[in-house]
Amino acid sequence: MKIGFIGLGIMGKPMVHNILKAGYKEVLVWNRSQAPVEACVSYGAVASTPREIGESCGVVITMPPNSPQVKEVMLGENGVASFMKPGSVFIDCSSINPVASKEIAAVLAERSVEMLDAPVSGGEPKAIDGTLSFMVGGKQEVFDAHKELLLTMGASAVRCGEVGAGNTTKLANQIIVACNIRAVAEALTLAQKAGVEPEAVFQAIRGGLAGSTVMDAKAPMMIAGNDKPGFKIDLHIKDLNNVLDCAHAVGAPVPMTASVMEIMQWLHNNGKGQCDHSAISQYYEHLTGIQIGR
């Protein structure tokens, strides 16, 4: 089976690497910039074009940043979809608005091409070690046929419903992650202002009910002052914009999301958009004049 992969950014490139390590021999790749393509070729992939990927691959996977880019690469002039054969499958691993996923799926259905929306959680570290979590929307039989492929890149793949359900689930995930990071930053700021070492607080509570994967990943970064991006503020802003759009469309109240979005927008406007989303702590540092753990 030939696999096409488009979008070789911070997540896509290691995902391609893991597909190849799992034994898939024919993986064709394309990206707007050339350096990631060259890196994937060094892993064993084949540099290609959108047209060739559409014409020759039974499965096409995309990982661009947002809805407009996915629509452009798939449905734009000379987009991949125009070259895909009936019976082939499109798997979009981007985090986009579920409304856009449904729109793309409807166009593909006219060409007898199936679709899974399969966004991921875990960021760059889990993309590298192949332990991403896939949240998938699409037909049960299509999911079953491609779950093994997804698990070359992830530790879990769960079908959540029809097309659009994967990205709806990802939006829920991004609400929880953003609000959790904010809570960790706020709690560690309180601890330090009250004269208690943030590291001691982290170690004391991480094994209890307040403990979480988010806390384990982000509290040490906050304490060390490390904002090297595993998942950038600007990307989380993109996801929360999709949350707010979806929530407004379906009438769901999301006041916590709106609040943390304002913090992220402040960080973006103050030059922190390319920092890790743990940089939410720097908003509190700005308000208090302290640096957590330092």
Task: Please name the residues in contact with 205: beta carbons below 8 A apart, sequence gap of 6 or more.
Answer: 211
Asked if residue 178 lies in contact with residue 240, where contact means CB atoms within 8 angstroms, the answer is yes
Report the SS3 class of residue 114. Answer: strand
Q: Which helix (H) or strand (E) holds 159?
A: strand 154-161
Active-site hit among 2, 170, 232, 238 = 170
| Cα–Cα distance for residue pair 213/221, rounded to 1 Å | 13
DSSP designation for 95: -
Torsional sign, CA 248, 252, 258, 260: negative
Q: 170 catalytic, yes or no?
A: yes
* Among 100, 99, 3, 108, CA closest to 45: 3
| Cα–Cα distance for residue pair 159/245, rounded to 1 Å | 23
| Cα–Cα distance for residue pair 128/7, rounded to 1 Å | 15
* Catalytic center residues: 170
